[in-house]
Chains A and B, each alone.
Chain A
Amino acid sequence: MTSTIALETRNIIKTYQSDSGLINAVDDVSIQVRSGEFVALVGPSGSGKTTMLSILAALLKQTSGQILLDGVELSDMPESERVKIRREKIGFTFQSNNMVPFLSALENVELMLRLNNRLDKVGKLRAQELLARLGLAERMHNLPGQMSGGQQQRVAIARALIHNPSLVLADEPTASLDTERAFQVVETFANLIHEQNRAGIIVTHDLRMCEYVDRVLQMQDGKLVKEYTGKSEILEFINGTRH
């Protein structure tokens, strides 16, 4: 598979006004993520990783800097264009409340195709195959309320990938899962990112989940402070922070 740069940020700064003055929630962050690469964004609470993810998801505008998704600059886009980018180019899973509660698992996944006006027989079949691949063949017609947190997260992963986005973002997808389920979800996510050649970014507090990523970006006080690449370096980082 080709490995092109799917996402690039250049000197992203996001400034907020607080009682004590201006705060840089994201401070001069430049990253590149290639297609087929799965990256973890880690850091303590308040380090700016969720703000960074929101900016990458075109949900929040940065104060300065550039974001290029598939080479297209997002910074100056009007909101209507950003909505289109979110619909076509980005897949998203959230920490909780992921699903549209009145749609079944299959309908939730198909929704991304509907939104992109691409729901045809092939699309429906792909949605079913993807859910089956995620171990949800028996749960396709269940409503979110009839599924466990782990099952809902897997549906969200299917929904994030079904429309072949360039970038897949996951915000703490394992926060509400037990350890076993959490490992399963992230492993499946990582496999699909690699197989489908998407650029994936996961924001997580749980460093054990970094076992499945290709690169770890560590943030602190809004800055990108360290980068870990390669299996051994990542495992060393995970084990080092555990002790």
Chain B
Amino acid sequence: MKKPTINEPISDFVTISGYLAVKELLRNKGRFFLISLVIALITLLVLFIAALGEGLGNGNREYISKLDADLVVFQAKSDKVIASSRLGNNRIAAIRRIDGVADAGGLFTSNAAVVFFNGNEPVKIALLGIEPGKPGEPKVLQGKQFRKNLADEVILDKNTALRTKLKIGDTAIIRTTQGEKDKFFEMVVVGITDGQQYGLQPSIFIPYQTWDNIRSKSAAEIGSGNPVANVVILKLTDPKAADEVTARLIAKVDNIEVATIDESIKALPGYTAQQSTLSTQGAFTLIIGILVIGGFFQIQVLQKVSQIGVLKAIGTSTPAVAVASIIQIVLVTIVGVFIGAFLTFLLSLSFPPTVPIVFNGGTSALAVVALIIIGPLGGLVSINYAARIEPLKALGLSS
């Protein structure tokens, strides 16, 4: 095996590299701080794109992703799109009888608006009918769960409560359109859940029979039959047996298709395209960041060719010079990323709740790590250049 050609103990050259790197940083604070600021702006951009992606994704999938359930049953050929699927009572009953299904609850979706008579703007919401006590009903953080299938009660998700400023015990006025007329329904707020957005809208949960009474409908639908669920949400006796239960469902219930929670999220209209667009934007921002940071450090190395020449001439090893550059780049990048993260946090405080920005710990941490890595990546060319500087040429001694 080829031995490393470093002629001093690693601890020695790291010590000298650290000394040179830190001294230069401290003696040129202004210059390095400007580079950190550029990195901070890139960080701000990357974190906002990540937060926007998270916010938009969350607005689409939040209710589905928080379901305490294992499978979702759709009407066949609905492409697993909730709004396109219809499942009547007979099929719901058949689904409940399948071996392995512990519990099942219908989900009934519609849109409505919460209106105010004090001049405030209406808040558009997803009106979600659920079966009390069945899968699909979210757990309340304040107040109580539903007890009856038919009651003039609603549970608000956190976002609806934030935007409407309604509290438990207040009356929410819900506007829908039935036939050609706007209808207004007074509902008592009995509970508030955590964030449960659906279709990029804040949501209001309501017992499914009340839902059927108040939802928007055409003139022909008014007074017609039982409510029809969009999908059925299943809790299994053994979640690990999802494949077997799926096979049984397909075999025994006509005209259905079954999806896991993850598959249901991916099938949400526009969700996958939206997320891949935002991921691509984030990736391009990182690439631009690498180029910008690389450019800055390259210019810096070009400005100090003679300085590096002197260091090498008096016996500083090439690895020590390279490590000094790496230490500087890493420190400048870390400072920039943390300034950027702090600026992002400050800016995020000024955004209204209507802007779909969510700072997810995991996603933000991933973005921060990626940003810290792009500094040294961007600086690779300059580090290589610094390592290749020949003291003779740098000092003008070569003829």
Contacts and interface: CB of A to CB of B under 8 A. Distances in A.
Interface of A: 25, 46, 50-51, 53-54, 57, 59-60, 78-81, 83-88, 90, 92, 94-95, 97-103, 107, 111-112, 114-117, 143, 159, 171
Given A59-B391, A60-B392, A94-B395, A83 B317 contact: yes
B19 A79 contact: no
A54 B309 CA distance: 13
A110 to B, nearest CB: 10
Given A114-B16, A171-B397, A54 B392 contact: yes
B396 interface: yes
6 closest A-B pairs by CB: A87-B315, A102-B27, A86-B315, A97-B306, A80-B5, A80-B7
Contacts of A171: 397
A101 B397 contact: no
Contact of B23 (A85, A92, A95, A103): A103
B222 interface: no
Chain B, interface residues (CB within 8 Å), range: 20 to 34
Contacts of B315: 83-88, 90, 112, 115-116
A46 B399 CA distance: 9
B28 interface: yes
B311 interface: yes
Contacts of A50: 397, 399
Interface in B364-399: 391-392, 395-399
Contact of B310 (A51, A88, A100): A100
A111 B311 CA distance: 9
A54 B397 contact: yes
Contact of B392 (A59, A81, A99, A100): A59
Contacts of A98: 310
Interface in B1-30: 5-8, 12, 15-16, 19-20, 23-24, 27-28
Contacts of B304: 101
Nearest to A79: B5
Interface string B275-319: 000000000000000000000000000001011011111111110
12 contacts: A50-B397, A51-B399, A54-B392, A60-B398, A83-B312, A83-B315, A94-B310, A97-B310, A97-B395, A103-B23, A115-B314, A171-B397
Given A59-B391, A80-B5, A80-B7, A112 B314 contact: yes
B397 A59 contact: yes
A5 B306 CA distance: 33
Given A60-B397, A92-B314, A99-B310, 14 more contacts: A50-B399, A54-B397, A59-B392, A59-B397, A78-B5, A84-B7, A84-B8, A84-B315, A86-B314, A88-B315, A94-B313, A101-B307, A103-B27, A112-B315
Contact of B12 (A78, A117, A159): A117
Nearest to A145: B27
Contacts of A88: 315
Contact of B314 (A97, A111, A117): A111
Contacts of A114: 15-16, 19
A159 B309 CA distance: 16
Nearest to B317: A83
Contacts of A83: 7, 312, 315-318
A167 B65 CA distance: 74
A233 to B, nearest CB: 30
Interface string B204-236: 000000000000000000000000000000000
A177 B66 CA distance: 78
Nearest to A171: B397
B9 to A, nearest CB: 8
B313 A86 contact: yes
A25 B317 CA distance: 28
Contact of B313 (A59, A95, A101): A59
A102 B12 contact: no
A95 B396 contact: yes
A193 to B, nearest CB: 18
Nearest to A54: B397
A100 B5 contact: no
Contact of B27 (A53, A81, A84, A143): A143
Interface centre among B6, B307, B318 (most CB of A within 10 A): B307
Contacts of B396: 95
B324 to A, nearest CB: 11
A80 B270 CA distance: 59
Interface in B303-360: 304, 306-307, 309-318
A102 B310 contact: no
A94 B16 CA distance: 22
Contacts of A115: 16, 314-316
